[in-house]
């Protein structure tokens, strides 16, 4: 029962997140004018995983954690493109590799810059979405 509820809540939240944060290109038949292009390029699967991990980290599924965690990934997407987000997370996960082999992930300035950008985006999201 809980698993079904969690999955249906996550699916609904993902749909709502996608609808509320994506700017879609609109073409009118008479003028053929376009609005701004799609700004949010985070894959749905990544959003779901982020939200579910966030919910687990913040005490389980409640209305507040569901809404706040959905908000967090939206705020991170405002600050980082998906490509940068993915690179920053990769460097963050792999920097714990011990010894010389881990140096390639810890030491380059690009890795440090991306980790800093991710940390700043996450802090911005925490403050904006009221998740404690």
Could you read off the pLDDT of 21-57 as tens digits, one per residue?
A: 444 333 434 444 444 444 568 999 999 999 999 999 9
pTM exceeds cut of 0.75: no
8-state DSSP, 120: H
Give the pLDDT confidence score for residue 124 in this predicted structure: 95
CB neighbour burial string for 103-128, b if at least 16 within 10 angstroms, e if fewer: eebeeeeebeebbebbeebbeebeee
Q: In angstroms, rounded to a whole number, what is the distance separating the alpha carbons of residues 107 and 109?
A: 6
Write out the residue range of the structural domain in which residue 49 sits: 2-129
Give the pLDDT confidence score for residue 101 in this predicted structure: 73
What are the tokens at 121? 């985006």
Q: Residue 82: is it exposed, middle or buried by C-beta count within 10 angstroms (0-12/13-18/19+)?
A: middle
Query: Are the C-beta atoms of residues 105 and 111 closer than 8 Å to each other?
Result: yes
Residue range 41-51, pLDDT digits in tens: 899 999 999 99
Query: Are the C-beta atoms of residues 70 and 13 closer than 8 Å to each other?
Result: yes
The count of structural domains within the chain is: 1
DSSP secondary structure string, 81-119? -HHHHHHHHHHHHHTT--HHHHHHHHSSHHHHHHHHHHH
């Amino acid at each position: 029962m809980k698993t079904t509820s969690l999955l249906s809540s996550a699916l609904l939240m993902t749909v709502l997140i996608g609808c509320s944060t994506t700017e879609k290109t609109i073409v009118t038949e008479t003028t053929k004018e376009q609005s701004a292009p799609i700004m949010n390029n985070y894959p749905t699967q990544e959003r779901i995983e982020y939200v579910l991990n966030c919910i687990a980290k913040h005490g389980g599924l409640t209305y507040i954690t569901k809404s706040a965690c959905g908000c967090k990934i939206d705020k991170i997407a405002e600050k980082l493109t998906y490509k940068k987000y993915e690179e920053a997370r990769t460097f963050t996960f792999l920097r714990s590799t011990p010894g010389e082999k881990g140096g390639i992930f810890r030491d380059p300035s690009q890795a440090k810059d991306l980790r800093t950008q991710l940390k700043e985006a996450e802090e911005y999201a925490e403050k904006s979405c009221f998740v404690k």
